[in-house]
Amino acid sequence: MSRSDVLLMLLAGVTAALAALVAMRADITRARAGKIFAFGALFLLPALSLAAGYSTQMERAQSTRFCLSCHVMTDYGRTLLIDDPGYLPAAHFQNGRVPRDRACYTCHTDYTMFGGVTSKRRGLRHLYVQYLGTVPPPAQIRLYEPYHNRECLYCHEGARTFEEASPHNSAPELRPEMKANRLSCTSSNCHDIVHDVASLSDVTFWKGVTLP
Amino acid sequence: MRLLPAERRLEWAGGLIATGLMVEIAVSAWIHPLAFVTFALVACPLVAAGMLFFLWSLVSPR
């Protein structure tokens, strides 16, 4: 548990105690000092606690641990450890090209609560399916929309390894097409081995890192 | 001591806020989508309702 988590719990705990005190002794608000106390205990501090809690929850929702906490995502997490640089997520995770504690969110930035209303609704539906519905096998899970090159280019655009790579310059229109998302990085016979969970039984795993 | 109607609302406000914050504390050590949903759909509405009760007590006649 981090220091900010402890501070959040302390703040919420103290605020809850003060709010409970007002609930048990509402007559203290008859005095002027009591009114000021009630304003702090029933408005200012709760608003601060909620804001801090919201910020913490949103930050946690970006963590690899959060994403892999549902059983169906376990195999997707294991693909990060595959001992083969041809697997795109594994190469990024193992070489530190994405922060390991935020590996999923770095590449899936518009997923569930971080996307639009439709994505948020999908996130709730995922929870429903996880606990009350029929969870599909991991190999049958697909993205709702084709993967957007924007996520790749956020880091790679302008990088020398990207701009000067010979396959990216084999035709003059190639890079403009990629940048306009008309030519997908992940499904144009280029970087097309991504989370291939169906192949997990046939691969070996690198032991150099562990999942957060 | 007999409480005024506005003080009754303060009782409710305090109770709702304390309950909501206890829920927030309970889920704050748990990294899981259910913790997020519990925070968003249980803790937040309870605390917000408590704050609204408090504001209501301010504008209601004593």
Render pLDDT for B17-57 as a digit per residue (tens, 0 to 9): 999 999 999 999 889 999 999 999 999 999 999 999 999 99
> Which phi and psi (to 5°) does residue A155 adopt?
-100, -40
> Which phi and psi (to 5°) does residue A205 adopt?
-115, 140
Please count the residue pairs, one from chain A and one from chain B, whose beta carbons lie less than 8 angstroms apart: 120
Measured between CA atoms, the residue of chain B closest to residue A44 is B51
Mean pLDDT of A143-168: 91
pLDDT at B62 over 70: no
Mean pLDDT of A136-151: 89
Q: Which of residues 135-194 of A touch B (CB under 8 A)?
A: none
Q: Please tell me the predicted confidence (pLDDT) of residue B6.
A: 85
Task: Tell me how far apart the alpha carbons of residues A182 and A175 are, in angstroms, rounded to a whole number.
Answer: 10
Convert the pLDDT of each residue in A24-64 to its tens digit: 998 898 899 999 999 999 999 999 999 999 999 988 988 99
Mean pLDDT of A86-114: 90
Residues on chain B bordering chain A, Cβ-to-Cβ distance under 8 angstroms = 1, 3, 7-8, 10-15, 17-18, 20-22, 24-25, 28-29, 31-37, 39-40, 43-44, 47-48, 50-51, 54-55
Q: Contact B25/A12, CB-based, under 8 Å? A: yes
Side chain identity at A51, as an amino acid letter? Answer: A
Give the 3-state secondary structure percentages of chain A, helix then strand then coil, rounded to 5: 65, 0, 35
pTM of the model: 0.84
- Interface check A128 vs B, CB under 8 A: no
Residues near A37 by beta carbon (within 8 Å), at least 6 away in sequence = A18, A22, A28, A29
Convert the pLDDT of each residue in A107-125 to its tens digit: 998 877 777 788 888 888 8
Separation of first and last alpha carbons in chain A:
14
* Residue A67 in tokens: 């994403």
Side chain identity at A120, as an amino acid letter? Answer: K
